[in-house]
Amino acid sequence: MDQFSSTAVLPEPFSGARDDITEQFMIIWGQIKAPLIVPLLNIAVFLCLTMSAMLFIERVYMAVVISLIKLFGRKPDKRYKWEPLKDDLELGNSSYPMVLVQIPMYNEKEVYQLSIGAACGLSWPSDRIIVQVLDDSTDPIIKNMVEIECQRWASKGINIKYEIRDNRNGYKAGALKQGLKHSYVKQCDFVAIFDADFQPEPDFLWKTIPFLVHNPELALVQARWKFVNADECLMTRMQEMSLDYHFTVEQEVGSSTYAFFGFNGTAGVWRIAAIDEAGGWKDRTTVEDMDLAVRASLKGWKFLYLGSLQVKNELPSTFKAYRYQQHRWSCGPANLFRKMVVEIIRNKKVTLWKKVHVIYSFFFIRKIVAHIVTFVFYCVVLPATVLVPEVYIPKWGAIYIPSIITILNAVGTPRSLHLLVFWILFENVMSLHRTKATFIGLLEAGRVNEWIVTEKLGDAFKLKSALKAFKKPRFKIGERVHFLEVATGAYLFFCGCYDVVFGKNHYYICLYVQAIAFFIMGFSYIGTFVPS
């Protein structure tokens, strides 16, 4: 076997040059590692462990609270007065509050009929409801189709208004704000908002409006989202796992303990007086819904979440659409935190405890720390310890805390627990995108105000055909190849190779698996995987 040595495979000059380069690299690495790399990495480990512990405490706290809520049955109708609205023989239908239903849309060719049909099918006295379609479409063909659909429902006796603007200033916030300025809205007490892919059940208003009528301190009643295409592909299953935790735990805990949570931008009913008192819709960030919710909360208004009331909607089915959505959802809250933190601190209408909750728990931990620690710690710092074994990470920080956090996050979707490993890898890769967006929001840089409407594909049949078409796109390197993900995958792969040759940690299998996940999503193939 000696005949197959490196000197036999490579000519002697090349072999010697290779050995010289390797030796020089190791000498340089040894010279800079001890005085520079080790101290910096120790600082990074300390900061990451601190953030990880903060996130762990937050998750355990919410797990305890949600367990107590379930144990003692603190249902909304026990915390707030609720009675069904009844007919008044003397007043007739005028005893019912006037409700406005807003449907903002933008080039929603695939779903406009579903959303308009669902809104027009809401059960409520016909003379006490107005359906308002706010169409910002730029495609004249789609615009004409939406207008014809509105006319069709109007011919059936539905009080539906088709409203357009000559610009898209403020995007969704601008459309909603303009919609409330019409004269017929002055007679309305409440406004229900549904994005173009949301389909409420006919009894939606009967289940929500009584809370607002009987509890004047309530500004908002928020319903839960139900995903109609969660089983479409592996990516939608992963999204469902992440969002289910938000709806089953975060929203429920916020509603039950602080009477505050972030408005999800749709599937909710607002008291119009609360919107006006909070200053109306603003377009200063890409999370106009969260902006309004925080401002209304600072005015003393309370919010109620109805986890039992579900509204059907659609998850992004393409990786491109999901990336745009996650950029907006990560960048917007960080930017809003930057703009409002001083205002929250100076506010005198809410308690100190609620201020702490909004600043620390709602914004800092969930919207900033959760993204940063997932990527920096698990995808950068931990792999770097393979290259620098002098840096020690305790087991509680590297294994126990991440495992408990993962389990607490995943229990919201028990049907997908067998996909836990895929979900961890998916979230790790997406944490890169979210961390980048978070820093953009905090620093108010580059794409801070980028607003791209999430693509909707309609019902299951349209989804299948669209996905088939998506599998054979015209190859565009900027759209299909994401260089940051590929570069991170290469870094993890290098760390794995180094661990095989020189390392003592034996993390290489985990590093290789993570690297593969980054490569897969770096080349946008995740949306084509169908779960078993």
Cβ atoms of 82 and 214 within 8 Å: the answer is yes
Q: Give me the catalytic one of 136, 244, 283, 291.
A: 136
Residue 482 · residue 488 · CB < 8 Å: no
- At CB < 8 A and 24+ separation, what contacts does 69-75 make? 69/252, 69/253, 69/256, 74/256
Side chain identity at residue 243, one-letter code: L
Q: What is the CA radius of gyration of the chain?
A: 26
DSSP secondary structure letter of residue 255: I
Distance CA 273, CA 191 (A): 10
C-alpha 10: how far from chain center: 53
How many Cα neighbours within 13 Å face the side chain of 339? 20
Contact 260, 358 (CB under 8 A): yes
Half-sphere exposure of 8 (CA within 13 A, CB side): 5
Q: What is the DSSP string of 307-342?
A: EEEEEEE----SHHHHHHHHHHHHHHHHHHHHHHHH
Q: Are 294 and 316 in contact (CB under 8 A)?
A: no
Taking the C-alpha atoms of residue 112 and residue 306, their distance in angstroms, rounded to an integer, is 26
Q: Exactly one of 135, 197, 244, 289 is catalytic; which is it?
A: 289
Distances 472 to 36, 92, 291, 468, 525 between C-alpha atoms, Å: 48, 59, 39, 7, 11
Q: CA of 160: how far to CAs of 21, 113, 368, in Å?
A: 75, 14, 41
136 labelled catalytic: yes
- 227: phi then psi, degrees, rounded to nearest 5: -95, 115
Residues marked as catalytic? 136, 289
